[in-house]
Structure 1
Amino acid sequence: MARSGSQQRSAAVPLAWLWLVLVVYASLFPFDGWRWPPGAGLIDLMHLRWPRWWDVFDVVANLLGYLPLGLLVALGTLHAGRPWPRALLQAAAAGATVSFAMEVTQQLLPQRVPSLMDWVLNAGGALLGGLAAVLLGATGLPQRWSRTHDRWLDSGGAGAVVLLMLWPVALLFPTPVPLGLGQIGGRLRDLAMAALVDVPWADTAVAWLEPGPSALRLSVVSEGLATGLGLLAPCLLVYAASRAGWRRALLAIGAPLIAVVATTLSTVLNFGPSHGWAWLTPSVAVTLGVASGLALALVWVGPRLAGGLALVALTGLVVLVHQAPTDPYFAQSLQGWEQGRFIRFHGLARWVGWLWPYAAMAWLLARLGQRD
């Protein structure tokens, strides 16, 4: 039985934690070259200075980067029934505290330039986000969203909402096949081999980890199956958190539209506008149509059955994408990202794309493990 809106956990809470992870990633990327500044004490690290130069991009990025954090913290506080002054205070305090911690930590990274201005802008952005949440609360929009949430989703559905919102972000990183998320095996292998370098007793393990010859591409059937499962998985994921009925049909119709927009945007960003639709071949279009039809046919299945089917779809997806080679043209596009301002976002999208299926599996297993 679903809990009432006031008792339902707000999706703003997990989203705030996810945005915090994004902030930490963007603040400390590329996470290497750590060193303690020569001759500096702990108090010296906490002393932030005003920068000698700045540009408009940095000002806007620092201001807007913390606005969602303040917005989500304040919305979560308001959802818990706290008064708006407390929500505004918690949003501002969260932004100021996190930003100060990041600026101090950046002192240990030679590639980053911490400054007092960044801290002021970050704290100001969080405060603006808190103000926006208070204004939204005055309009009654969060309450209407909570009632809509209760009509569409069972209790505990906030996790599914967060995963669904992350799905388009995951698709921005180039995949070995359309919608083929979760190909993290190569990265894990590289990390393991790097950790075992010069370890005398690990020769056998290193030899076992050495990548063997891979096929040039998946078969047409396997590629189509991976693409279809990549579309079915998010639909079934939300089915597992919602009541059977016609409302699910909106998701089954909207999911392929989101997939097309996100994948096309990814192709444009990585290979240029002239290649934006190159991924949407006739076979891929047919696969998307068939998968959408299956999603529509399953709108009346129960949540537990939908969760089981989602686990099957996700398992099949990750098995298939790990049989596919990495896109040989991706290295060329990555160089352009690395020379630009958006490499940190690109790196984040890569990790989201790699981990999304496994996070979805973890949520589904926890969901199915709950007693009715």
Structure 2
Amino acid sequence: MHQEDQRPRKFVWPLQAMPLARAISLSYALLIIYVSLTPFDFNIHNGIAGWAWLNAPLPRFITLFDVSVNILAYIPLGFLLVFACYPRWRNFVALGVALGFSAFLALSVESLQTWLPTRIPSQMDWWANVLGGLLGALLAIPLGPQWLSGSIIRKRFDQWFGIHWAACALFLLFPWSQIYPQSSWLGTGVWGHAIFASVDWGTMVINHVAQEAVITALCWLGVGL
């Protein structure tokens, strides 16, 4: 046998999909829809077409805060979509998918905001959202999902959670359930009022905010298990 044949060969891990990234991407997209369209008091008979904002002039006053929030809101979405597309679509193909999905989601949300009395859709918001999705995807490409696929971290994750990986998505989304100004987002944590309405929580050691957080965490844990 030749000496060259005795050299150890580098083991190539098979490319593995990332269902957790897909679940979090879908959940985050639904979160964007919820936050952008709350309180869902649509008035489709206001006489304004859903695409009218595309031809509307830019707002007279554009604040740095609004632009920054719109950009930052879509950066995680673009980042997660690159990992969610792996291994079927990678690199710049995944970049195109992330950018296209971010643009479509922002377009749909802005169009629906036309019929909300408390929302004002604008091209500036849409461009800021698209830029956020692009920045998130560009941040994910240099990292590359390859370093997680087949790695010891991925093997340990599968060993610990197995088919119950969706529970991790619930834990990661828990902080968003306390989003301001909804103190009990999606109805979590409000059952204490109905069951213990006569109790004066002001005299308790644990205040109302901490109680809601504990109840909500237990609800998410129960669903995850």
TM over 0.5: yes
Q: Which residue of 2 aligns with 1:268?
A: none
Q: Tell whether 2:140 aligns with 1:136.
A: no
Instruction: Note the 1:71-220 alignment, pairs <5 A.
Output: 71-78=79-86, 80-137=87-144, 140-143=146-149, 147-152=152-157, 153-169=160-176, 183-185=189-191, 214-216=198-200
In 1, Cα distance between the equivalents of 2:214 and 2:79?
25
The one-letter code sitting in structure 2 at the alignment partner of 1:29 is T
Q: Which residue of 2 aligns with 1:61?
A: 69
Q: Which has the higher contact order (CA 8 A, sep 6+)?
A: 2
In 1, Cα distance between the equivalents of 2:48 and 2:176?
40
Q: Which residue of 2 aligns with 1:28?
A: 37
Q: Tell whether 2:223 aligns with 1:362.
A: yes
In 1, Cα distance between the equivalents of 2:115 and 2:63?
23
Secondary structure (helix, strand or coil) at the match of 2:144 reads helix
Give the aligned length.
Answer: 205
Q: Contact 1:37–1:107 at 8 Å: present in 2 too?
A: no
**Is the alpha carbon distance of 1:167 and 1:48 closer, same or farther for their aligned partners in structure 2, counting shifts above 3 Å?**
same
1:38 aligned residue (46, 49, 61): 46
What is the TM-score when the length of structure 2 is the normalising length? 0.73
Q: Which segments of 5 or more consecutive residues in structure 2 lack a partner in the other structure?
A: 1-12
Q: Which residue of 1 aligns with 2:7?
A: none
1:96 offset after TM fit, Å? Answer: 0.2
CA RMSD of aligned residues (A): 3.7
In 2, Cα distance between the equivalents of 1:72 and 1:52?
34
CA deviation profile, 1:116-171 (whole Å, cap 9, x unmatched): 01101101110111111111108x54347x53032142422431322232345557
The one-letter code sitting in structure 2 at the alignment partner of 1:363 is G
The one-letter code sitting in structure 1 at the alignment partner of 2:132 is G
Q: Tell whether 2:20 aligns with 1:11.
A: yes
What is the TM-score when the length of structure 1 is the normalising length? 0.47
In 1, Cα distance between the equivalents of 2:97 and 2:161?
29
**Is the alpha carbon distance of 1:103 and 1:26 closer, same or farther for their aligned partners in structure 2, counting shifts above 3 Å?**
same
**Is the alpha carbon distance of 1:72 and 1:212 closer, same or farther for their aligned partners in structure 2, counting shifts above 3 Å?**
closer
**Is the alpha carbon distance of 1:213 and 1:36 closer, same or farther for their aligned partners in structure 2, counting shifts above 3 Å?**
closer
